[in-house]
Amino acid sequence: MGCVFGRELAKEADVSTATVSRVVNRSAKTSEEVVQRVWQAIRKLGYRPVIGRQSATTIGAVVSDVSEPFFGQMLKGIDQIARVHDKQLLIHNGHYSEQSEYQAIERLIGRCECAIVHSKWLSDDVLVDFASRIPGFVLINRYIESIAHRCIALDNVHGGYLASRYLVQKGHRHIAYLCSEQFIDDSHNRLQGHRMALAEANIDLDHRYIVACPPSEDGGRLGVYDLLANGLPLTAIVTYNDVMAAGVLFGLQENGLTCPQDVSVVGYDDLVIARYLHPKLSTVRYPISVMAQQATRLAISLSRGSGENIAGQVMMPTFVERSSVLDRSI
């Protein structure tokens, strides 16, 4: 950073030149308020920090939990494209919290000129600000209108609709829904799609058929217990994701019920495990690997200054029919 421009930034942000240097080079802890002032000054004056050689060869990725199969597929897709372009991958976990997501993305600034970010807890404004600070910043599984050209998302409302419509078409009327207890748009949108499918079939929505639980195997298992405790007629369960569906199958077995003869089950994501459960799981396919590859190509293009005119894409899920649903329409 030049001395003259450093002084201009310091004056604009009302801080010392040393503080400007620390913020840009990330060499010491500085309050978030000061960091924001410096970066606002950088944008106002049109300054773009020089990206080092290591940063130019590194792609950053932020996921909620690297141990989850869904994010494993996402990271594999990113890595496949990164290798083609001879770039290394730097991974950070967001740990399902606003503070952790912020810290994870902030750590990428100055270290990566490309970043593929899966964020569900930060506000639109914060993510837009990050997009102005990382040249190749791309959001995956989220759509923000003001940075639409940096977003690769999925229509989760349609995905939820597909899952429940399939059961309706198979003659099911008593359909339960296990939604995620996390307060994120994925959970709301998939449940919205479920409601749309029921309304289209003139099935009254009984809230006792909707149970919120952790999006995990144990969450699905306990969700089954909650549904059965209600004592309602039940022929099918739609789950927020495949991992939860695996827990549902186990919970049904624990209660002496079989799938699909007694209760049909539909998942969401089409993870690898869906093909190896018993019975094989009918599910909504979330093309996360393809989306991750596309997001990485877009990030590289943006980092080179050639992606600003690329429209953001909202991809459509599809339904994968296997053997976990009984046809009751016959």
Chain segment 100-139, per-residue pLDDT in tens: 999 999 999 888 999 999 999 999 999 999 999 899 999 9
pLDDT above 70: residue 309? no
**Cβ neighbours of residue 143 closer than 8 Å, sequence gap 6 or more:** 151, 153, 312, 314
At 217, is the pLDDT very low, low, confident or very high (cuts 50, 70, 90)?
very high
Q: For 5, list phi and psi in degrees, rounded to 5.
A: -70, -30
Both 121 and 235 in a single domain?
Answer: no
Residue 322 resides in a domain: no
Residue 117 resides in a domain: yes
Residue 291 tokens read as 């989306």
Both 186 and 142 in a single domain?
Answer: no
Both 166 and 275 in a single domain?
Answer: yes
Both 148 and 295 in a single domain?
Answer: yes
At 215, is the pLDDT very low, low, confident or very high (cuts 50, 70, 90)?
very high
pLDDT above 70: residue 43? no
User: Which residue reads 């198979």 in tokens?
Assistant: 170
- Per-residue pLDDT averaged across 239-261, rounded? 98
Both 282 and 183 in a single domain?
Answer: yes
The proportion of the chain whose per-residue pLDDT surpasses 70, expressed as a percent, equals 89
Residue 42 lies in domain = 1-50
- Per-residue pLDDT averaged across 160-178, rounded? 98
What are 238's strand-pairing partners? 177, 266
Both 100 and 144 in a single domain?
Answer: yes
Judged on CB neighbours under 10 Å (0-12, 13-18, 19+), 181 is middle
Both 175 and 266 in a single domain?
Answer: yes
Q: For 267, list phi and psi in degrees, rounded to 5.
A: -105, -165
Both 132 and 246 in a single domain?
Answer: no
pLDDT at res. 11: 78
Instruction: Name the average pLDDT for the chain.
Output: 90
Residue 244 tokens read as 């939860």
Measured CA to CA in angstroms, residue 86 lies from 71, 227, 300 at distances of 22, 50, 11
pLDDT at res. 26: 59
Of residues 197 and 50, the one with the higher pLDDT is: 197
Distance CA 260, CA 323 (A): 8
Residues, the chain: 330
pLDDT at res. 48: 56
Both 163 and 264 in a single domain?
Answer: yes
Residue 18 resides in a domain: yes
Both 192 and 180 in a single domain?
Answer: yes
Residue 143 resides in a domain: yes
Both 145 and 41 in a single domain?
Answer: no
At 6, is the pLDDT very low, low, confident or very high (cuts 50, 70, 90)?
low
Helix (H) / strand (E) element for 71: namely: helix 69-84
Both 276 and 164 in a single domain?
Answer: yes
- Number of domains composing the chain: 3
Residue 325 resides in a domain: no
Distance CA 257, CA 69 (A): 27
At 60, is the pLDDT very low, low, confident or very high (cuts 50, 70, 90)?
very high
pLDDT at res. 109: 87
Residue 294 resides in a domain: yes
At 187, is the pLDDT very low, low, confident or very high (cuts 50, 70, 90)?
very high
pLDDT above 60: residue 27? no
* CATH assignment of the domain containing 211: 3.40.50.2300
pLDDT at res. 57: 86
- Per-residue pLDDT averaged across 55-73, rounded? 92
**Cβ neighbours of residue 118 closer than 8 Å, sequence gap 6 or more:** 62, 63, 64, 71, 74, 94, 139, 140, 141, 142
Distance CA 32, CA 40 (A): 12
At 310, is the pLDDT very low, low, confident or very high (cuts 50, 70, 90)?
low
pLDDT at res. 71: 97
Residue 108 resides in a domain: yes
End position of a domain, from candidates 50, 69, 90: 50
Residue 224 resides in a domain: yes
